[in-house]
Structure formats: C-alpha cells, structure tokens
Structure 1
Amino acid sequence: MRVLVGYATAHGSTREIAEHLGARLARHGLDVEVAELGLVAAPETFDAYVLASAVHGQRWLPEARAFVAEHAPELAAKPVWLLSVGMPDALRSPLPALAHLFQPPVLVSEFASRVSIRDHLVVSGVIRAEHLPLIGWLAMLLLTRGAGDYRDWDRLDAWADGIARVLTTLPAPRRPPARRGPAPSRP
C-alpha cells in the first residue's frame, strides 16, 4: 500500500511531524513517501493519503488547500487522513478544550464534502516569538502559555498506529499489469 504523507509548513514544525508520521507508518510495512504538497509528483499513484498543514488564521496554508482542490477526485476515491497543526494546546485554560471542540470542522469545511476523510486530528506545533508579527506576539502573550514546543509525540504515534491498522487490513489495491515488450509505435 503506497501512502503519501504530504505537508504544508510555514516554519518547519509540520514538516517534522510529517516526517515522524511517515517513519511510524513505514514501521508497519507501508510504502510511505513524505513530501511537501507543492512538490508531489503523480499524486494519483498513491493508495492512501495523510495530509498535514500548518494552520494560520483558522485556515490551512494556501498550498495545502490548493492541493486538496486540485486533486479532489483522487482524494474522494481513496482513504484520506487530515492533520491540522495549530496551537490549541498552547492556549490558556479553558480555551484548549473549546479549540479542540470547535476548530476541526472549521478547518476542513471548505473541502470536507469533496474528500473521503477518515479522520481529522488537530494538534499543536511549535510557537516562537520570532515567527510572529508584533500583533501576533502580543496576542500570544495574552492568550497562550507562551512560546514553546507543544507537539504531543505520543498522541501522534497513536494516531499513526491507528491509520496503519486500517491500511494494513484493507485489500491490496489492484495495479494494472506491467506492459511487456516494446511500446507500440505510432505512425
């Protein structure tokens, strides 16, 4: 089973998460390719997709949204898991609980009806003051517990293991037989 773990990142945290998920899925015997969504060659050749994007302004990054829009037919026909990397766990209490409750549907609402979504997980990434404009830095001081690495690797591992359990129980995809001999010549 060929699995694309595709990502869109702003500062590298989502890329690191995607690489970690890819390695975890490969441990289960899956054929995994980890790639930036804007650089994926032949996305239609994959049997399943794990798509991750950093979240800015309550939306996936433009390149992630563009990938989903452009490849919606393939994504509708095959299993898809979505991962949104934001900052819900960095928020001051009780905001994390509210973010986990209300944020997931908002993040994927623009393409949820066009894609075969098996699951959508919202996790936290890394927040650094130098990545924020002044107004963002001020909001961080007011609303969050501060800069830091809020990634929950155990939660990500459990999620990847669940994906692997599903994918390893699905029937093997049918591939067209390899062509033998020279290609037919064209006049």
Structure 2
Amino acid sequence: MLVTYGTTNGSTARIAEAVADVLRKDGLTVESLPARSVTSVTPYDAVVVGGGLYAGRWHKDARRFVRRHRPELAKRPVWFFSSGPLDATVSERDIPPVRGVRRAMTRLEVREHVTFGGCLQEGAKGRVAGMILRSGKGGDFRDFGAIETWAEGVADVLTRT
C-alpha cells in the first residue's frame, strides 16, 4: 500500500505518517512517500493520497500525482484526504472536498475523502504563511485521534478483502 502526499511545511506529511502507522499496525505493508517522488503506483494494491489545502486548491504535488498516475490509480482502491483549515471547523462539521479534488474523486471512483485540520507554525515557508502567522491565525488544528480512526476504517476495508 502507498500513502503519498503533497505538503509545503510538513503538516500533511505528518498526517500521512500517522495514517501509514495505523495501516502498518493492522498488518498492511505500507510505504509513505512525498507525491513528487513516486514514479509508479504499479507495485501497490491500494493508495491513499493526501494534500494540503492552499487557497482552495490541493497542493500541486498531490494534483500532479493524481493526474500523472490516473490510469493506474483507476485500477485500485484509492482514498483521499485534505488538510488545511486553521480553525476548529473540522471538529464541528464535515468539510467537503474542494472542486478539483471532487472532480478527481469522480474520475477515479475514490472510496472516501476526509478533511483534517491543518497546522501552520512559526518558521513556515511562504509569503502567505508569514502573513497568516503575523495575523495570529496559525496553530495546530490536527486531531490525531480522528486521523487514526479514519485510517482504521481504511485498514478495515483492506483487511476484509
């Protein structure tokens, strides 16, 4: 199984690692890799793709990964996750996938999508990140309990078949 992700400052990578850890605990063989470094999905029976949200779009590496590997992804079970809201909204309600992710989900018959809270802390790269931090709106809104519960659901589907 492959867990791959697009991230700028590492928050989405940490979520991907948490997902991969749960899948491994459930007995699955898992690789977790940055989306830009994956050259083929052929060796994998299933794939989880995660992307950080930036201005209403998935991270470019996640978008490019899905576009580049679309034919092979269509042949296997795929799950998506997004990370990014820098507030408590994900704990209050489900946040639907952004338009581009929703379109990819339809094309690939993605099993499920979930949005997790994001994390933006001092030292983050990028002009916009700096502006957000200076405005006092940064912080860590990831809920690792929710992330692990979601990953357990993915593992349940894969270990049942």
Q: Same fold (TM over 0.5)?
A: yes
Is 1:106 aligned to residue 125 of structure 2?
no
Q: Which has the larger radius of gyration?
A: 1
**Pairwise CA distance, 1:40:** 1.4
**Pairwise CA distance, 1:137:** 2.5
Aligned residues: 159
Following superposition of structure 1 onto structure 2, how do residues 105-124 of structure 1 map, counting pairs within 5 Å?
A: 105-124=98-117
**Pairwise CA distance, 1:16:** 1.0
> Match for 1:133 among 78, 102, 127?
127
Unaligned stretches of 5+ residues in structure 1 = 171-187
Provide the C-alpha distance between the structure 1 equivalents of 2:62 and 2:129, rounded to a whole number of angstroms.
25
> Match for 1:60 among 58, 65, 80?
58
Is 1:164 aligned to residue 145 of structure 2?
no
Cα separation, partners in 2 of 1:134 and 1:30, compared to 1, 3 Å: closer
Match of 1:38? 36
Is 1:26 aligned to residue 24 of structure 2?
yes
Q: Which moved more, 1:153-162 or 1:63-72?
A: 63-72
The residue identity in structure 2 corresponding to 1:109 is R
2:94 and 2:115 in contact (8 A); partners too: no
Is 1:154 aligned to residue 148 of structure 2?
no
**Pairwise CA distance, 1:124:** 1.0
Provide the C-alpha distance between the structure 2 equivalents of 1:108 and 1:123, rounded to a whole number of angstroms.
14
Match of 1:14? 12
The residue identity in structure 1 corresponding to 2:131 is W
| Residue identity (%) | 33
Provide the C-alpha distance between the structure 2 equivalents of 1:49 and 1:148, rounded to a whole number of angstroms.
29
Provide the C-alpha distance between the structure 1 equivalents of 2:138 and 2:29, rounded to a whole number of angstroms.
36
Q: Which moved more, 1:107-116 or 1:28-37?
A: 107-116
1:54 and 1:84 in contact (8 A); partners too: yes
Provide the C-alpha distance between the structure 2 equivalents of 1:85 and 1:123, rounded to a whole number of angstroms.
5
TM-score (norm 1): 0.75
Aligned alpha-carbon RMSD (Å):
2.4
**Pairwise CA distance, 1:110:** 3.5
Return the structure number with greater relative CO, CA threshold 8 A, min gap 6.
2
Unaligned stretches of 5+ residues in structure 2 = none
